[in-house]
Amino acid sequence: MMDVETKRSLDFNTTTFTNERRAPEDFPPIANEIRRDIVRALVRAGSGHSGGPLGSADIFAVLYFGGYMRYRSDDMGWSGRDRFVLSAGHMVPVQYATMANAGMYPKSELATLRKYGTRLQGHPGRDMHLPGIETSSGSLGQGISIAIGMAMSDALLDKNDHRVFSLTGDGELQEGSVWEAAMAASHFKLDNFCWIIDNNDCQIDGRVPDVMNVYPIKDKCEAFGFDTIVVDGHDHADLQRGFDLFLANQANKTGRPTCIIARTYMGHGVSFMNDKFEWHGKPPTHDQAVAALEELSAHP
């Protein structure tokens, strides 16, 4: 267990976590360390997205450390690995923090986020060869199609049991090509594909239903052929229920792709950011980072 001074510190520590089947109560310490690393990285970067990364930290904790995605953190080129594609590329600080907490690269490198020459580009860049980044992304709507191409390669050509996960935002659903992708996932019966929607109702210009309504999301995903489940994206047991549904779909060869709609709050875990779309695209100041770390250190 980390002591409170280590948690509260603006400096990166060396704690890492393993990927295994866990009880729900095992996840909060992981999710909160991911959140703290997001804050530590963003305050140094001086730019970047706080809201989405903090709000989705629970999803990433369960996905990367709950035994659902199979990988070798010291060999991310392992051909047997499952793949994760972040379609909402601007949320990459949470993926960088998660990957570092899995030991794919040193946590100290999070200090280079968005700086010249870094492997931690503002949006994921495959050209930087950071272990665990499968593809460049950031132009919304593309990552999910790439993930479906990977899932097709696994299920239809190589005929292996690899899993492919992709996370989109909810504002991202406004991109029409997302629905081209969704159509293809069920057309090709990709039960090895899991689509996670970070449903926080926030985008840069305001609340998603005000900017351009994407609801009813669940009905749409079901109509596009997904086995769709809505979960509380901050309740780890509920998230596990979602990922278990996906594993069952694949194991039982149902031919149905799975969609997990994770209801989240942007900026969750830091009260002054919680559910505020203004935090979509800005980093904390030094004082705000200190306050955020203080609050995030009060929890497990």
Partner 1 sequence: MTPTLLGSKPTRFGFGDGLVDLGERHSNVVVLGGDITGSVMTSLFRDKFPDRFFSIGIAEQNATTIAAGLALSGKIPFFASYGAFCALRNADQLRISVAYNEANVKIGGGHAGISVGPDGATHQVLEEVAFLRTLPHMTMIVPADYEEARKATIAMGEMVGPAYIRFGRSPVPMFTTADTPFILGKANQITDGNDVAIIANGAMLWESVLAAEELGKKGIKARVINVHTVKPFDFETVTNAARECGCVVTAEEHQVHGGLGGAVAECCGKNAPVPIEFVGVKDSFGGSGEPEELMVKFGLTWREIYASALVAMERKEKGSTGIRAIKDVATYA
- φ, ψ of residue 138 to 5 degrees: the values are 150, -25
Q: Is there binding between residue 168 and partner 1 (CB under 8 A)?
A: no
For the beta sheet containing 164-169, the strands, ordered from the edge strand earlier in sequence to the opposite edge, are 83-86, 164-169, 193-199, 258-263, 227-232
Minimum distance, C-beta of residue 155 to partner 1, in the bound complex (Å): 11
Preceding amide of 216 cis, omega within 30:
yes
Please report whether residue 183 would count as binding partner 1 according to CB under 8 A.
yes
Alpha-carbon distance values, 237 to 28, 68, 107, 152, 230 (Å): 11, 13, 27, 30, 13
CB 273 within 8 A of CB 54: yes
- Report the nearest approach of partner 1 to the CB of residue 142 (Å): 5
Residue 138 interacting with partner 1 (CB under 8 A): yes
Tell me the backbone φ, ψ of residue 161, rounded to 5 degrees. -110, 25
Binding of residue 128 to partner 1 (CB under 8 A): no
Site for partner 1 in 231-260 (CB under 8 A): none
How many residues would you count in the chain?
Answer: 300
| CB nearer to partner 1: pick between 66 and 132 | 132
The answer to whether the beta carbons of residues 279 and 266 sit under 8 Å apart is yes
- Segment lying near partner 1 (by CB under 8 A), choices 94-102, 177-185, 206-214, 288-296: 177-185
Residue 169 in contact with partner 1, rule: CB under 8 A: no
Indicate whether 148 belongs to the interface with partner 1 (CB under 8 A): yes
Question: Of 228, 159, 147, which is closest to residue 193 (Cα–Cα)?
Answer: 147
Q: Which of 73, 135, 186, 288 binds partner 1 (CB under 8 A)?
A: 135
- Pick from 6, 13, 16, 153 the residue near partner 1 by CB under 8 A: 153
Please tell me whether residue 125 binds partner 1 under the rule CB under 8 A: yes
Interface residues with partner 1 (CB under 8 A) are 85, 125-127, 134-139, 141-142, 145-154, 156-158, 176-177, 180-181, 183-184, 188
